[in-house]
Structure 1
Amino acid sequence: MNESIVQLSIRALLDGRARYVIPMYQRNYAWEEGEISQLIQDVVDTMHHNGASRDYYIGSLVVFRRGKGEDTIFETIDGQQRLTTLSLLAVYLKKLQPEAFTWLSRPTVEFECRPHSGKTFAAIAAATHADDPVERLAPVDMNAEILNGYRLVQKLLPVKLRENGLALDSFLNYLLTHVQIMRVEVPADTDLNHYFEIMNNRGEQLEKHEVLKARLLKALESLPDAKACQSCLHQVWEACANMEKYVQMGFPPVQRDRLFGHHDWSALRVANFDELKVLLQDADKTGEPGIRRRLSEILAEPPEVTNQATRAGDEETPERFNSVITFPHFLLHVLRVETGKKIPLDDKRLLSTFEEFVFRSDDPAGHIKRFVYSLLRCKYLYDHYIIKREFLRGTDGWSLKRLTCNTSDGKTRRSQYVNTFGAEEGDDLINRRILMLLSAFHVSTPTLVYKHWLSAALHYLFMAERIEVGAYLSHLESVARAFVFDRFLAEQPAEYDDMIFQRGGRCQARPASISSEGIRCRLSFGSIENNLVFNYLDYLLWNKRKGEDPQVRDFEFTFRSSVEHHYPRNPLTGLARLEGTVLDSFGNLCLISHSKNSRLSNFTPEGKKEFYAANAPDSIKQYLMMKHVSWNVDTIREHGDAMIDVLMSDLASCDQN
Structure 2
Amino acid sequence: MIEKEFSIRDIFNGYYSIPIYQRAYAWTDKEIETLVDDIYDYYSISKNQNYYIGSLVVHKGDHDFENVIDGQQRLTTLSLLICYLKNESNYKDLVKGINVNLDFESRKRSTDIFKYLKKNYAKVINESNELVDGYRILKKKLNNEKYNEGYFRYLIDNVILIKNELPKSTDLNHYFEIMNNRGEQLEKHEIVKAYLMGKLDDSDDIGRKVIAEVWNACQRLDKYVQIGFKPSIRREIFGEKWDEIVPNNYSEMKRIFEEDNEIESSFLGTITIDDIIQSNSKTGESEKKRKEDDDTGRYHSIINFPNFLLHVLKLFKNDRFNWRNESDGISLDDKKLISHFKTNIHNVKDVEDFVYLLLKTRYVFDNYVIKTDSLNDATDDGSNWSLHKPYMLPSKSGNKLSPRNTFYNDEDMQEIVVKIQSMFQVTDPRQIYKSYLYGILRILNSWIDSKDDKHLVDQLISFAKERFKAMTVKDTVFDDGVNTPNYIFNFLDFVLWYQQKFEGKEHGVKANEFEFKYRNSVEHFYPQNPNQAENHARLEDKYLDNFGNLCIMARSHNSLRSNLMPSAKIKEFSSTSQSLKFELMEKLAKQKDDWNKNEIIQHGNEMKRLLSEFIS
TM over 0.5: yes
CA 1:638 to 1:284, structure 2 compared with 1: closer, same or farther past 3 Å?
A: farther
Query: Is the contact between residue 261 and residue 267 of structure 1 (CA under 8 Å) also seen in structure 2?
Result: yes
Q: 2:363 aligns with which of 377, 380, 393?
A: 380
Offset at residue 451 of structure 1 (A): 1.0
Q: Deviations over 1:393-421 (max 9, x none)?
A: 45461001111123377x95332211111
Offset at residue 224 of structure 1 (A): 4.5
* Residue of structure 2 equivalent to 1:562: 521
Whether 1:429 aligns to 2:429 is no
Query: Is the contact between residue 481 and residue 651 of structure 1 (CA under 8 Å) also seen in structure 2?
Result: yes
Tell me the SS of whatever aligns to 1:449.
helix
Alpha-carbon distance between aligned partners in 2 of 1:550 and 1:648, rounded to the nearest angstrom: 20
Alpha-carbon distance between aligned partners in 1 of 2:377 and 2:545, rounded to the nearest angstrom: 41
* Residue of structure 1 equivalent to 2:430: 447
Tell me the SS of whatever aligns to 2:468.
helix
* Residue of structure 1 equivalent to 2:196: 216
* Residue of structure 1 equivalent to 2:403: 417
Q: 1:649 aligns with which of 600, 613, 616?
A: 613
Query: Is the contact between residue 304 and residue 413 of structure 1 (CA under 8 Å) also seen in structure 2?
Result: no
TM-score by length of 2: 0.60
Tell me the SS of whatever aligns to 1:582.
helix
Q: Deviations over 1:407-446 (max 9, x none)?
A: 377x9533221111134xxx62221111011000011101
Query: Is the contact between residue 481 and residue 544 of structure 2 (CA under 8 Å) also seen in structure 1?
Result: no
Tell me the SS of whatever aligns to 1:205.
coil
CA 1:485 to 1:394, structure 2 compared with 1: closer, same or farther past 3 Å?
A: closer
2:214 maps to a residue whose letter is V
Q: Which runs of 5+ in 1 are unaligned?
A: 1-200, 287-298, 308-316, 491-517, 653-657
Whether 1:245 aligns to 2:231 is no
* Residue of structure 2 equivalent to 1:350: 337
Please identify the structure whose Cα radius of gyration is greater.
Answer: 1
CA RMSD of aligned residues (A): 2.5
Alpha-carbon distance between aligned partners in 1 of 2:454 and 2:464, rounded to the nearest angstrom: 15
* Residue of structure 2 equivalent to 1:579: 540
Alpha-carbon distance between aligned partners in 2 of 1:267 and 1:356, rounded to the nearest angstrom: 32
Alpha-carbon distance between aligned partners in 2 of 1:580 and 1:529, rounded to the nearest angstrom: 14
1:635 maps to a residue whose letter is E
Query: Is the contact between residue 246 and residue 403 of structure 1 (CA under 8 Å) also seen in structure 2?
Result: yes
* Residue of structure 1 equivalent to 2:237: 259
CA 1:550 to 1:346, structure 2 compared with 1: closer, same or farther past 3 Å?
A: same
1:218 maps to a residue whose letter is G
Between 602-611 and 565-574, the greater mean CA deviation after superposition: 565-574
Alpha-carbon distance between aligned partners in 2 of 1:334 and 1:455, rounded to the nearest angstrom: 8
Alpha-carbon distance between aligned partners in 1 of 2:606 and 2:509, rounded to the nearest angstrom: 21
Q: Deviations over 1:173-230 (max 9, x none)?
A: xxxxxxxxxxxxxxxxxxxxxxxxxxxx95333211111111111121x3642x1111
* Residue of structure 1 equivalent to 2:462: 478
Between 523-532 and 536-545, the greater mean CA deviation after superposition: 523-532
Alpha-carbon distance between aligned partners in 1 of 2:455 and 2:580, rounded to the nearest angstrom: 26
Offset at residue 527 of structure 1 (A): 8.1
Offset at residue 243 of structure 1 (A): 0.9
* Residue of structure 2 equivalent to 1:463: 446
Offset at residue 624 of structure 1 (A): 1.0
Q: 2:498 aligns with which of 514, 532, 543?
A: 543
Alpha-carbon distance between aligned partners in 2 of 1:535 and 1:571, rounded to the nearest angstrom: 27
Tell me the SS of whatever aligns to 1:392.
coil
* Residue of structure 1 equivalent to 2:569: 608
Tell me the SS of whatever aligns to 2:222.
coil
Offset at residue 626 of structure 1 (A): 0.8
2:468 maps to a residue whose letter is V
Alpha-carbon distance between aligned partners in 2 of 1:284 and 1:326, rounded to the nearest angstrom: 33
Query: Is the contact between residue 461 and residue 467 of structure 1 (CA under 8 Å) also seen in structure 2?
Result: no
2:209 maps to a residue whose letter is S
Alpha-carbon distance between aligned partners in 2 of 1:579 and 1:651, rounded to the nearest angstrom: 31
* Residue of structure 1 equivalent to 2:50: none
Alpha-carbon distance between aligned partners in 1 of 2:468 and 2:483, rounded to the nearest angstrom: 10
1:373 maps to a residue whose letter is Y
- Aligned positions of 1:38-187 closer than 5 A: none
Q: 2:206 aligns with which of 228, 231, 234?
A: 228
Tell me the SS of whatever aligns to 1:418.
strand
Alignment size in residue pairs: 389
TM-score by length of 1: 0.56
CA 1:395 to 1:252, structure 2 compared with 1: closer, same or farther past 3 Å?
A: farther
Q: 1:588 aligns with which of 541, 549, 555?
A: 549
Query: Is the contact between residue 368 and residue 406 of structure 2 (CA under 8 Å) also seen in structure 1?
Result: yes
Offset at residue 233 of structure 1 (A): 0.3
Identity, % of aligned positions: 35
CA 1:329 to 1:594, structure 2 compared with 1: closer, same or farther past 3 Å?
A: same
Query: Is the contact between residue 528 and residue 544 of structure 2 (CA under 8 Å) also seen in structure 1?
Result: yes
Offset at residue 258 of structure 1 (A): 0.9
Q: Which runs of 5+ in 2 are unaligned?
A: 1-180, 264-285, 320-328
Alpha-carbon distance between aligned partners in 2 of 1:647 and 1:614, rounded to the nearest angstrom: 27
* Residue of structure 2 equivalent to 1:392: 375
CA 1:596 to 1:393, structure 2 compared with 1: closer, same or farther past 3 Å?
A: closer
Alpha-carbon distance between aligned partners in 2 of 1:304 and 1:378, rounded to the nearest angstrom: 26
Query: Is the contact between residue 482 and residue 523 of structure 2 (CA under 8 Å) also seen in structure 1?
Result: no
2:559 maps to a residue whose letter is S
- Aligned positions of 1:179-328 closer than 5 A: 203-220=183-200, 222=201, 224-225=203-204, 227-262=205-240, 264-285=241-262, 305-306=292-293, 318-328=296-306
1:242 maps to a residue whose letter is R
* Residue of structure 1 equivalent to 2:119: none
* Residue of structure 2 equivalent to 1:334: 312
1:270 maps to a residue whose letter is P
Query: Is the contact between residue 444 and residue 530 of structure 1 (CA under 8 Å) also seen in structure 2?
Result: no
Alpha-carbon distance between aligned partners in 2 of 1:353 and 1:388, rounded to the nearest angstrom: 27
Q: 1:626 aligns with which of 586, 589, 595?
A: 586
Alpha-carbon distance between aligned partners in 2 of 1:584 and 1:529, rounded to the nearest angstrom: 9
2:216 maps to a residue whose letter is E
CA 1:371 to 1:303, structure 2 compared with 1: closer, same or farther past 3 Å?
A: closer
* Residue of structure 2 equivalent to 1:525: 480
1:555 maps to a residue whose letter is F
Alpha-carbon distance between aligned partners in 1 of 2:187 and 2:563, rounded to the nearest angstrom: 46
Q: 1:638 aligns with which of 594, 602, 610?
A: 602
1:440 maps to a residue whose letter is M
Alpha-carbon distance between aligned partners in 2 of 1:218 and 1:551, rounded to the nearest angstrom: 56
Tell me the SS of whatever aligns to 2:374.
strand
Alpha-carbon distance between aligned partners in 2 of 1:282 and 1:616, rounded to the nearest angstrom: 55
Query: Is the contact between residue 306 and residue 337 of structure 2 (CA under 8 Å) also seen in structure 1?
Result: yes
Query: Is the contact between residue 489 and residue 528 of structure 1 (CA under 8 Å) also seen in structure 2?
Result: no
